[in-house]
Structure 1
Amino acid sequence: MVKISFYIYWFFFMFFMSMLIFITSLYYLYNDYVIMFEWMIFSCNSFCLYYLMIFDWISLMFCSTVMFISSMVILYSINYIGDFSYSSNRFLFIVLLFIFSMVLMIISPNLISIMLGWDGLGLVSYCLVIYYSSNKSYLAGLITCLTNRLGDIGLLISVCWMMSFGSWHFLYYNYMFPSYLFFMIVISCFTKSAQIPFSCWLPAAMAAPTPVSSLVHSSTLVTAGVYLLIRFFSCLSFSNLYFLFLSMMTMFFSSICASYEFDLKKIIALSTLSQLGLMMSSLFLGMVDLAFFHLLTHAMFKSLLFLCSGIFIFYMNDNQDIRMMGSISVFMPITCSCFNISSLTLCGIPFLSGFYSKDFIIENLSFNGMNLFIFFIFYISLGLTAFYSSRLFFYSMIMNYNFLNFNFMKDDFIFMKLSIFVLTFFSIFSGCMLMWMMNFDLMFIILPFKLKLLSLIFVFFGLWLGLEIFKFKYFFNLKYYIFHGYMWFMFSYSYFLYNFCYKYCVYNSFYTSSWGEFYGGYGLSIYILKISSFFQFYSMNNFKIFLLSFMIWFIYMI
């Protein structure tokens, strides 16, 4: 009997389920179907506890994308993690728990049941980030977990707030909620999607194994916030310029930080942050369908980018520094081809999947007539994406080989290669395929010829500038590079906030502690002790006193 590992079983299950759910979602889209299931978990007298699930084309399409990428990641992990061992099976089941939490969040139209998947994502992501059990992993896991828990506060407040509306089924009440409730939801989603000022956990989460990074940063954890905002979308509350400014600055600053980073996985993580900023800003501009479209196409090429970088790290003896790479294209031509295709898709090169969604968002922005600042930030961020992608290409593919003096890299056909081949196909064709299937191209946009070409000009300008910057050595002050390398010291600002709060607490601690001790448990215990000592003293003393006290109480009772 041939022993087949759990990985193969779960790969086939996820893959066929994703295909089945995708076909179902198209059927629901064309017929405009929405199905809601209510499962009664508990009933006692007049109290009933229901679990609610919604199946419409948005939830089913996103479910199929998550399951498809998960199947490719599971197939990839056979070679990357290894199979037929207890530790690899443990890794598989943690990943499956993560996928299950994401699916629970996707199919929930109820804020209470969303909390189940939302918290599951936060806790299981902690287990995955600390998988390698080093000090760096533990610190990264703590930053990831605590930042996500910070976002749960907003969701819990909104759960309590919605009790006054009679139900937690938010789909029915989206145009009735006060704007403050939306602010709570948006802040929760900002922590999950790592927008400013909660951006530092996303590069820190790169301590996880590469298959996990691929899953987390393409279609699951970071996109949960964007998906929840798509579900909660209300034109009345989402036209908020402050949130738009924050998401645009996230897109801009992550692109700049990626231009000065040398860690391969961190560059890709910062590019994810940039794309999340693009999705969020398109949401706050009112383009909800285009944000969802970009969410699906981004999942395909970003997972491919991570999986290809995992193969480089796997064959280069766990090296992630792009300065040590160089000339990989000579040793691994197939993997490098897939990597370059996903990089070009990220840049928005015409007729690859990223072009259809990114170009469409930017054309709609130009058509809507936003102010000059928003216009420039969008186009400069588009150019910066091409800039750091071309810089990464020149460092890893063109530069001389700087690693070991012997070479052990090869391009043999294993499960890792199979998964990236399938994802490469979808990275090229998913954009036009989804645009045709979902009728996103029904909008008629007329722009001047120069404005039409402006996005393409910025992309090619960014590619050229990346080549020029690659030739330069360090020509700025060292503090400039440290400033960008540490993400504008964003993590340190939280320390100043903590320091201020701590000093304020110390200033008031004398009054707080003294009043608390006087009226609290400590003061109460002192008085009880005094009373008991008093009674003990009189009961052990002269019999006359005891008799006298008895007579006094006796007369009082009469």
Structure 2
Amino acid sequence: MNSFINYCKISFYCLIFISFSLFILSLKFMLKDLVYFIEWEILSLNSMSIVMTFLFDWMSLLFMSFVLLISSLVIFYSNQYMEGDININRFILLVLMFVMSMMMLIISPNLISILLGWDGLGLVSYCLVIYFQNVKSYNAGMLTALSNRIGDVALLLAIAWMLNYGSWNFIYYLDLMYNEMEMMIIGSLVMLAAMTKSAQIPFSSWLPAAMAAPTPVSALVHSSTLVTAGVYLLIRFNILLEMSWMGQFLLLISGLTMFMAGLGANFEFDLKKIIALSTLSQLGLMMSILSIGLYKLAFFHLLTHALFKALLFMCAGSIIHNMKNSQDIRTMGNLMMSMPLTCSCFNVANLALCGMPFLAGFYSKDMILEMVMLSYMNFFSFFLFFFSTGLTVCYSFRLVYYSMTGEFNCSSLHPLNDTGWTMIFSIFFLMVMAVIGGSMLNWLMFFNPLMICLPMNLKLLTLFVCLLGGLMGYLISNVSLFFINKSLMNYNLIYFVGSMWFMPIISTIGIVKYPLTLGLFNYKIFDQGWSEFFGGQMLYNQLKNYSLFFQEFQNNNLKIYLLSYMMLFILLLFMIFL
């Protein structure tokens, strides 16, 4: 155990040092507007050379610094959360491999090296989801791996289409050749890959299922690594979204994803699944603002979301750890009396998620909604944006009511406390970042302040939607207001909304059922039907009949020999006397 603790601490110190170094470097690149391409020639044979290319600009360096900061705090947090696990060294190594795969994806301007990081994320995420090795985690791991495999195949096809340009460095061709048919096909395949990795409709079912992984992994996956890989890839391909039908299609899909996830989270009682659905909702928000063409704003929200979502998962993990692995929010209630520090940080993360003024989420979400009001957009997309924002506040307040402020529903003999100082350190560090991170990034990324001039009613629309959503969250949660709960008691409606519009069922049984039924039909008709009747069974019956005949012949061979001898003797006598 001591060697493991030292291993954790060494990883933590190394990652946090690299993170701060990259952050300082990104500021230099940002101020001087630098872009570095580094080419490493791996192999040169005659006229053929294999070259690995790396792209370093302010965006990749800043994103890497955030990923390394969150992963270092997750590893430090795991020091106590995973205490007593016999496979803890394997867990830390898997997390480090996960982070390295994400690093490869971030700094690659080349589809081949992107595929290395992309497949690395898929493979290691499968290993992490099945870490606890039970039936539920195996099913979740298979759903995660196979859903992401669709995106891997799309990326492989995009690599094949890039052969039209003689190089896989897509970044050289985007500005000049975005109107060509080949680049449109490549962009469509990349968008499909991004939709699978970032769990947009109809690939959304794997994201809540991946909650079977340990909570520190969820904090890493849902904040800055696996699910954000698709958004980051589309940020690099943003020109294709602006100049074609793909942006309009992605706007519709991501808006529906945002709406579906926000609606489903209001009917969920699993603490981790509620936070997972909130991640899905925020991913839809990033994708939709990216499809409008505001890629810098999408990247801004990506970074601020990483801070408060990692904090949210770490606080949830601390609560689950103290609740002896219970995740049902109905068995919690009034936790702020027993765990005041964790609950304070949890509330800060929740308010940042809702867009509370001057927290991290406010700077990005408020700017996104105001830019949506300024842009050319149809009423349906406009409605999805603002209604989904209201739903976010609604499920956040519902979560706070059930876990923090409602009636105490735990056992009277409970182990709830705030004494896990290793976990508290990681939580507190991220809480500070969730408070100051939004304003800091806003000052750094947008040198010229945006002039957003809106009428008073539109300016107050965001505030009104948030207040209305918070009120609805309280009313839905409060059991004393039974008339509202009673109106939601239609079981079929609740099951439809709470099960993400039947997507988990469609993604599993819906895909597997009909091929299996057809296979069973063919098996009965052919393997056990006509082919069996004319093939194996018929051959068997004929051979059996021949075998019985020869067995009968062999069993009576003496009688037959004597009988034939007598018949021959009689025949000879008859011939002699004639």
Normalised to the residue count of structure 1, the TM-score between the two structures is: 0.88
Q: Does 2:238 match 1:233?
A: yes
Q: 1:285 to 1:114 in 2, by over 3 A?
A: same
Distance in 1, Cα, partners of 2:111 & 2:69: 26
Q: 1:406 to 1:248 in 2, by over 3 A?
A: same
Report if aligned partners of 1:435, 1:441 keep a CA contact under 8 Å in 2.
Answer: no
Report if aligned partners of 2:329, 2:399 keep a CA contact under 8 Å in 1.
Answer: yes
Residue 208 of structure 1 is aligned with which of 213, 218, 224? 213
**Structure 1 residue 464: deviation in Å?**
1.1
- What residue in structure 1 maps to residue 122 of structure 2? 122
Report if aligned partners of 2:37, 2:54 keep a CA contact under 8 Å in 1.
Answer: yes
Give the letter for the 1:448 counterpart: P
- What residue in structure 1 maps to residue 167 of structure 2? 167
**Structure 1 residue 86: deviation in Å?**
5.4
SS of the residue corresponding to residue 369 of structure 1 reads coil
Report if aligned partners of 2:15, 2:72 keep a CA contact under 8 Å in 1.
Answer: yes
- What residue in structure 2 maps to residue 19 of structure 1? 20
Report if aligned partners of 2:263, 2:498 keep a CA contact under 8 Å in 1.
Answer: no
Give the letter for the 1:69 counterpart: I
Alpha-carbon displacement from aligned partner over 1:319-340 (angstroms, at most 9, x marks no partner):
0000000010000000000000
Deviates more, 1:487-496 or 1:381-390: 487-496
- What residue in structure 2 maps to residue 266 of structure 1? 273
Aligned residues: 512
**Structure 1 residue 232: deviation in Å?**
1.1
Give the letter for the 1:295 counterpart: L
Distance in 2, Cα, partners of 1:507 & 1:424: 58
- What residue in structure 2 maps to residue 144 of structure 1? 144
- What residue in structure 2 maps to residue 293 of structure 1? 300
- What residue in structure 2 maps to residue 55 of structure 1? 56
Residue 490 of structure 1 is aligned with which of 503, 506, 531? 503
- What residue in structure 2 maps to residue 68 of structure 1? 69
- What residue in structure 1 maps to residue 87 of structure 2? 87
**Structure 1 residue 443: deviation in Å?**
2.2
Q: 1:81 to 1:505 in 2, by over 3 A?
A: closer
**Structure 1 residue 440: deviation in Å?**
5.8
Q: Does 2:415 match 1:414?
A: no
Distance in 1, Cα, partners of 2:131 & 2:330: 27
Distance in 2, Cα, partners of 1:201 & 1:388: 21
Distance in 2, Cα, partners of 1:463 & 1:351: 18
Q: How does 1:128-527 map to 2 (within 5 A)?
A: 128-175=128-175, 176-177=177-178, 178-234=183-239, 235-237=242-244, 240-412=247-419, 414-439=421-446, 442-471=449-478, 472-473=481-482, 474-475=485-486, 476-494=489-507, 495-499=509-513
- What residue in structure 1 maps to residue 542 of structure 2? none
Distance in 1, Cα, partners of 2:464 & 2:43: 60
Deviates more, 1:260-269 or 1:500-509: 500-509
- What residue in structure 2 maps to residue 527 of structure 1? none
Give the letter for the 1:17 counterpart: I
Report if aligned partners of 1:282, 1:291 keep a CA contact under 8 Å in 2.
Answer: yes
Distance in 1, Cα, partners of 2:10 & 2:355: 36
Report if aligned partners of 2:105, 2:117 keep a CA contact under 8 Å in 1.
Answer: yes
SS of the residue corresponding to residue 218 of structure 1 reads coil
SS of the residue corresponding to residue 443 of structure 1 reads coil
Report if aligned partners of 2:355, 2:365 keep a CA contact under 8 Å in 1.
Answer: yes
SS of the residue corresponding to residue 488 of structure 1 reads coil
- What residue in structure 2 maps to residue 544 of structure 1? none
Alpha-carbon displacement from aligned partner over 1:241-290 (angstroms, at most 9, x marks no partner):
22210100000010000000000000000000000000000011111100
SS of the residue corresponding to residue 131 of structure 2 reads coil
- What residue in structure 2 maps to residue 529 of structure 1? none
Q: 1:310 to 1:496 in 2, by over 3 A?
A: closer
Q: 1:236 to 1:75 in 2, by over 3 A?
A: same
Report if aligned partners of 1:239, 1:285 keep a CA contact under 8 Å in 2.
Answer: no
Distance in 2, Cα, partners of 1:499 & 1:69: 41
Give the letter for the 1:130 counterpart: I
Report if aligned partners of 1:279, 1:291 keep a CA contact under 8 Å in 2.
Answer: yes
Q: 1:238 to 1:91 in 2, by over 3 A?
A: farther
Structure 2: segments with no counterpart, 5+ residues: 532-578
SS of the residue corresponding to residue 333 of structure 2 reads coil
**Structure 1 residue 33: deviation in Å?**
0.6
Distance in 1, Cα, partners of 2:150 & 2:470: 38
Give the letter for the 2:25 counterpart: T
Distance in 2, Cα, partners of 1:365 & 1:10: 42
**Superposition RMSD on alpha carbons, in Å?**
2.1
Deviates more, 1:148-157 or 1:401-410: 401-410
Deviates more, 1:380-389 or 1:239-248: 239-248
Distance in 1, Cα, partners of 2:69 & 2:233: 20
Alpha-carbon displacement from aligned partner over 1:185-231 (angstroms, at most 9, x marks no partner):
10110000000000000000000000000000000000000000001
Alpha-carbon displacement from aligned partner over 1:83-105 (angstroms, at most 9, x marks no partner):
7x751111111100000000011
Distance in 2, Cα, partners of 1:509 & 1:131: 36
Report if aligned partners of 1:182, 1:237 keep a CA contact under 8 Å in 2.
Answer: no
SS of the residue corresponding to residue 307 of structure 2 reads helix
Distance in 1, Cα, partners of 2:142 & 2:519: 24
Distance in 1, Cα, partners of 2:41 & 2:511: 45
Bigger Rg, structure 1 or 2: 2
Alpha-carbon displacement from aligned partner over 1:460-511 (angstroms, at most 9, x marks no partner):
111111111112454221222222222111123344455556678899999x
Alpha-carbon displacement from aligned partner over 1:166-194 (angstroms, at most 9, x marks no partner):
11101111141532221111011000000
Normalised to the residue count of structure 2, the TM-score between the two structures is: 0.85
Q: How does 1:6-45 map to 2 (within 5 A)?
A: 6-45=7-46
Deviates more, 1:404-413 or 1:291-300: 404-413
Give the letter for the 2:76 counterpart: L
**Structure 1 residue 442: deviation in Å?**
2.7
Structure 1: segments with no counterpart, 5+ residues: 518-558
Distance in 2, Cα, partners of 1:20 & 1:496: 49
Q: Calculate percent identity across the aligned residue pairs.
A: 50
Report if aligned partners of 1:22, 1:60 keep a CA contact under 8 Å in 2.
Answer: yes
- What residue in structure 2 maps to residue 96 of structure 1? 96
Give the letter for the 2:458 counterpart: L
Give the letter for the 1:253 counterpart: M
**Structure 1 residue 441: deviation in Å?**
5.4
Q: 1:134 to 1:499 in 2, by over 3 A?
A: closer
Give the letter for the 2:265 counterpart: A
- Runs of 4+ in structure 1 deviating by more than 4 angstroms, as ranges, are 497-510
